[in-house]
């Protein structure tokens, strides 16, 4: 029998091709999608009180017999239909505006059920009708009960959707097989699946709705954790071809060559990583640390360790600028210890690329730094032993897998500078071990953040001038123009010209994505040397750029950026011992943008900000769902359901101990459900 995820919604009773297209806009393609399209909220429309027991403005539902109908026209021309109804408590009115066709059903003697806000005219309560039902209607689905309210799309009404869901439940819910093991249901008091599906749409009580939802959330998170944990077990089941030995001369020389000693947090991270690299099984680790916490150095050590064990390492970064910066840093660090690094990005010229590809293929290049150019088919390694992925959330789980597949059983280290709340980390990276660098290098001062209006730019310029005169440097980041890097580049050039006039004595650099590689290198190098004092840039400087002498970050039209992005940009300053400043320039715009600005001015810690961002925008937006490789969760809300997520993870691990290959009858059910439901992360679930 086809599962609910395979049966198309189009052939359901009351759907058809046109409505199927509307449903598709809501992401509903199959019967399963429909049944798991949960109500956004509920309205309690049970009939148990007289209308006059409701206060002005409250929403009431009442049923009565029509005793009189009156149609009038307001001065504005609007038609007003006022219908007097009698129920067992007395008379009340129902009012419709501009819906004269209601007359056809609201005839004297007919029975109507109406829902809407209560108003008091001359002491007699009146319901301004939002929804009503006469006679047959939608079988009493929209009134007289706790009514589901769904996320909708244009041209699809609540009533329509309720009817379709109701009919589908009638036909399918009973035959919807249970997919969770019975002992799990029993030990956590979870509803059985068919019942949960019915109750989540048409609950008898709010408590029942909550119970039903809890079951479905648990189910979804449990399945996902089973997938992630199995992926992890599969990777760990195969022993590495080449494991690393204890730290040798290159790693030791590199450590001595560093201009600072590692912080205790970095030491801890490094010990965990080194231990993984020396173990028989491949490392699967997430290295998480706030901006500027010093992750890159730790990655550099790991790559050096691979190199001294005769293995190649690859470092993949999300942008060219970041890849270049990593490359330049590593080249400098490795020059002293004799490790060869090459750079591979989209803009590497053909001839040069071929040369570098050959060096990668024959093993001459010990460390390869690049963008997603690294996962192109033409790139092959001689002995890839370590994969480091920076800023993973820009890549999907799929891309991680592609790079991983270029080696036999490489160690994998994922670095993320965006602090991910633990709950989200579990969902996104449930297959990885977690290492957190939880302290900044010594001597850092929090970046002072202020929000100013464009009219106050004069003050900003005076401040920047004073800082530069003290020997410091500043960034000016141009407004975000998502659609076109060309427009962003133009805006940056224009701003650079304006600043040249305002600050004739300072040198001004310009950095954007449309500059040639050599040009960008020149500008960055000049900025690093303080030959350039003001760097005007697009968001290309968002991640990774590291110039500790820069102390001021001015972000124009800051309201256009997301919170995580603003925090990243701010992270470009405050990387040295000098006091640093982040100045957000924005008009008062939407309340939501204002909330972001205020969060940034009050919160310094990236983790707190990430939680706030998640709260303000929801997890999808936080990363941009499509880019993130985040499996789309239909039911669970990572923020609200974090306790269930932890429980689901524990139970998933416990279940897999019993049935690691999902071969028992219960396991086969789980496997089939996983494959049908999480097709977008196929490489994880199959
Ligand atoms: N232990 C340390 N003591 C002093 N300075 C350090 C230490 N570790 C790193 N740094 C310096 O701190 C700055 C930030 O380090 P790094 O670039 O490694 O951070 P990151 O975590 O990769 O940051 P981001 O995610 O913002 O790119 C660099 O200038 C680096 O040289």
Atom in ligand 1 nearest the alpha carbon of residue 289: 21
CA distance 564 to 253: 36
Contact 10, 20 (CB under 8 A): yes
Tell me which of 245 and 143 has the higher pLDDT: 245
Atom in ligand 1 nearest the alpha carbon of residue 391: 25
> Would strands 433-437 and 411-416 be described as parallel, antiparallel, or unpaired?
unpaired
CA distance 469 to 447: 19
Q: Which mutation among 437, 441, 569, 570 tests ligand 1's pocket best, with the greatest number of atoms within 8 A of CB?
A: 441
CA distance 433 to 272: 10
Question: Ligand 1 in contact with 297 (CB < 6 A)?
Answer: yes
Other CB atoms within 10 A of residue 492 CB: 25
Place of tokens 């980041």: 477
Question: Ligand 1 in contact with 294 (CB < 6 A)?
Answer: yes
Domains annotated on the chain, with CATH:
9-41+166-208 (no CATH), 48-144 (2.40.50.140), 209-441+639-686 (3.40.50.300), 448-603 (3.40.50.300)
Q: Which mutation among 263, 265, 268, 292 tests ligand 1's pocket best, with the greatest number of atoms within 8 A of CB?
A: 292
Distance 328 CA to ligand 1 centre (A): 15
Question: Ligand 1 in contact with 539 (CB < 6 A)?
Answer: no
pLDDT digits (tens, 9 = 90+) for 646-656: 899 899 999 99
Tell me which of 639 and 324 has the higher pLDDT: 324
Q: Which residues pair with residue 356 across a beta bridge?
A: none
CA distance 226 to 650: 10
Sequence-separated (6 or more) residues with CB below 8 Å from residue 359: 340, 342, 365
Q: What are phi and psi of 475, to 5 degrees?
A: -105, 145
CA distance 613 to 637: 14
Picking from 90-104, 107-121, 418-432, which range would have the lowest pLDDT averaged per residue? 418-432
pLDDT digits (tens, 9 = 90+) for 52-67: 888 888 888 888 889 9
CA distance 589 to 592: 8
Distance 292 CA to ligand 1 centre (A): 5
Average pLDDT value for residue range 356-368: 94
Checking if the pLDDT of 266 tops 90, the result is yes
Note the pLDDT of residue 198.
94
Question: Ligand 1 in contact with 262 (CB < 6 A)?
Answer: yes
Contact 115, 45 (CB under 8 A): yes
Question: Ligand 1 in contact with 325 (CB < 6 A)?
Answer: no
User: Which residue owns the Cα nearest ligand 1 atom 8?
Assistant: 294
Three-state secondary structure along 76-140?
CCCEEEEEEEEECCEEEEEEEECCHHHHHCCCCCCEEEEEEEEEECCCCEEEEEEEEEECCCCCC
pLDDT bucket at 627, cuts 50 / 70 / 90: very low
User: Which residue owns the Cα nearest ligand 1 atom 6?
Assistant: 441
Pairs from 169-174 (Cβ < 8 Å, separation ≥ 24): 169/35, 169/197, 169/198, 169/201, 169/202, 171/12, 171/13, 172/4, 172/31, 172/35, 173/35, 173/197, 173/198
Distance 297 CA to ligand 1 centre (A): 7
326: Cα within 13 Å, side-chain hemisphere: 36
Checking if the pLDDT of 683 tops 70, the result is no
Note the pLDDT of residue 628.
42
Other CB atoms within 10 A of residue 72 CB: 9
Q: Is 411 helix (H, G, I), strand (E, B) or coil?
A: strand
Question: What distance lies between CA 670 and its chain's CA centroid?
Answer: 26
Q: Is 504 helix (H, G, I), strand (E, B) or coil?
A: coil
Question: Ligand 1 in contact with 263 (CB < 6 A)?
Answer: yes
Picking from 151-165, 466-480, 568-582, which range would have the lowest pLDDT averaged per residue? 151-165
Distance 348 CA to ligand 1 centre (A): 27
Sequence-separated (6 or more) residues with CB below 8 Å from residue 328: 521, 524
Question: Ligand 1 in contact with 574 (CB < 6 A)?
Answer: no
List the strands of the sheet with 581-585, edge to edge. Answer: 448-452, 581-585, 550-555, 473-477, 534-537, 508-511
Note the pLDDT of residue 196.
95
Average pLDDT value for residue range 31-39: 92
Sequence-separated (6 or more) residues with CB below 8 Å from residue 73: 79, 80
Question: Ligand 1 in contact with 444 (CB < 6 A)?
Answer: no
Q: Which mutation among 260, 294, 326 tests ligand 1's pocket best, with the greatest number of atoms within 8 A of CB?
A: 294
DSSP 8-state secondary structure symbol assigned to residue 560 = G
ipTM: 0.97
Run of H or E including 208: helix 206-237
Place of tokens 């401040």: 463
Distance 264 CA to ligand 1 centre (A): 13
CA distance 43 to 287: 45
pTM above 0.90, yes or no: no
Atom in ligand 1 nearest the alpha carbon of residue 443: 4
pLDDT digits (tens, 9 = 90+) for 130-168: 888 775 455 677 767 888 988 887 777 788 889 899 999
Note the pLDDT of residue 566.
87
Question: Ligand 1 in contact with 293 (CB < 6 A)?
Answer: yes
Q: How far is CA 662 from CA 77, 90, 200, 230, in A?
A: 68, 63, 28, 10
Q: Kindly state the percentage of the chain with pLDDT values over 90.
A: 40
pLDDT bucket at 428, cuts 50 / 70 / 90: low
User: Which residue owns the Cα nearest ligand 1 atom 16?
Assistant: 294
Picking from 145-154, 449-458, 601-610, 622-631, which range would have the lowest pLDDT averaged per residue? 622-631
Q: What are phi and psi of 636, to 5 degrees?
A: -75, 150
Distance 595 CA to ligand 1 centre (A): 29
Distance 525 CA to ligand 1 centre (A): 18
Contact 63, 144 (CB under 8 A): yes
Question: Ligand 1 in contact with 576 (CB < 6 A)?
Answer: no
Note the pLDDT of residue 679.
66
pLDDT digits (tens, 9 = 90+) for 509-559: 998 878 877 788 788 889 989 999 999 988 776 666 788 899 999 999 888
User: Which residue owns the Cα nearest ligand 1 atom 10?
Assistant: 294
């Amino acid at each position: 029998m086809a599962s609910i995820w395979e049966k198309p919604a189009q052939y359901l009773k009351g759907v058809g091709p046109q409505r199927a297209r509307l449903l598709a806009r809501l992401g509903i393609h199959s019967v399963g999608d429909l049944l798991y399209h949960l109500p956004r909220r509920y309205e309690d429309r049970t009939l148990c009180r007289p209308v006059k027991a409701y206060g002005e403005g409250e929403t009431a539902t009442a049923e009565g017999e029509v005793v009189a109908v009156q149609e009038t026209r307001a001065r504005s021309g609007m038609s007003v239909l006022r219908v007097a109804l009698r129920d067992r408590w007395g008379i009340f009115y129902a009012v419709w505006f501009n819906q004269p066709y209601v007359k056809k059903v609201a005839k004297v003697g007919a029975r109507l059920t109406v829902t809407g806000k209560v108003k008091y005219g001359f002491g007699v309560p009146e319901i301004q009708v939002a929804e009503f039902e006469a006679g047959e209607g939608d079988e009493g689905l929209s009134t007289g009960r706790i009514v589901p309210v769904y996320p909708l799309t244009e041209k699809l009404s609540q009533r329509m959707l309720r009817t379709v869901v109701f009919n589908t439940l009638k036909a399918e819910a009973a035959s919807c097989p249970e997919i969770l093991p019975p002992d799990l249901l029993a030990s956590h008091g979870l509803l059985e699946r068919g019942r949960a599906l019915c109750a989540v749409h048409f609950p008898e009580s709010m408590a029942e709705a909550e119970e039903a939802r809890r079951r479905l959330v648990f189910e979804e998170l449990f399945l996902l954790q089973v997938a992630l944990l199995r992926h992890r077990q599969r990777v760990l089941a195969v022993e590495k071809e080449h494991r690393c030995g204890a730290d040798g001369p290159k790693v030791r020389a590199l450590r001595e060559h560093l201009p600072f000693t590692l912080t205790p947090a970095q030491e801890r991270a490094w010990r965990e990583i080194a231990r993984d690299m020396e173990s028989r099984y491949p490392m699967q680790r997430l290295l998480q640390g706030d901006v500027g916490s010093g992750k890159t150095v730790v990655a550099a050590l790991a790559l050096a360790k691979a190199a001294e064990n005769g293995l190649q390492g690859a470092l993949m970064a999300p942008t060219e600028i970041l890849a270049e910066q990593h490359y330049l840093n590593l080249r400098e660090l490795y020059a002293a210890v004799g490790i060869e690094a090459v750079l591979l990005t989209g803009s590497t010229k053909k001839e040069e690329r071929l040369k570098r590809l050959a060096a990668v293929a024959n093993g001459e290049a010990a460390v390869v730094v690049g963008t997603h150019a690294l996962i192109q088919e033409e790139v092959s390694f001689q002995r890839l032993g370590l994969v480091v992925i920076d800023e993973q959330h820009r890549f999907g789980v799929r891309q991680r897998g592609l790079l991983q597949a270029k080696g036999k059983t490489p160690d994998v280290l994922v670095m993320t500078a965006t602090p991910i709340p633990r709950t989200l980390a579990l969902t996104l990276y449930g297959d990885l071990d977690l290492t957190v660098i939880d302290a900044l290098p010594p001597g850092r001062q929090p970046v002072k953040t202020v929000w100013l209006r464009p009219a106050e730019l004069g003050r900003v310029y005076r401040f920047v001038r004073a800082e530069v005169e003290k020997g410091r440097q500043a960034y000016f980041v141009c407004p975000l123009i998502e659609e076109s890097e060309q427009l962003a580049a133009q805006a940056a050039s224009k701003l650079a010209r304006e600043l040249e006039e305002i600050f004739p004595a300072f040198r001004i650099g310009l950095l954007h994505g449309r500059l040639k590689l050599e040009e960008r290198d020149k500008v960055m190098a000049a900025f690093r040397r303080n030959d350039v004092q003001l760097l005007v840039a697009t968001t290309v400087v968002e991640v990774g750029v590291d110039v500790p002498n820069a102390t001021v970050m001015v972000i124009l039209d800051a309201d256009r950026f997301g919170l995580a992005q603003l925090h990243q940009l701010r992270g470009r300053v405050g990387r040295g011992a000098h006091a640093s400043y982040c100045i957000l320039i924005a008009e008062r715009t939407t309340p939501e943008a204002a909330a972001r600005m205020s969060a940034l001015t009050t919160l310094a810690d990236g983790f707190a900000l990430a939680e706030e961002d998640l709260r303000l925008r929801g997890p999808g937006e936080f990363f941009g769902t499509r880019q993130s490789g985040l499996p789309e969760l239909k039911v669970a809300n990572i923020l609200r359901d974090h306790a269930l997520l932890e429980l689901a993870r524990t139970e998933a691990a416990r279940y897999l101990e019993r049935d690691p290959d999902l071969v028992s009858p219960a396991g086969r059910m789980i496997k089939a459900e996983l494959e049908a439901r999480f097709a977008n992360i196929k490489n994880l679930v199959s």
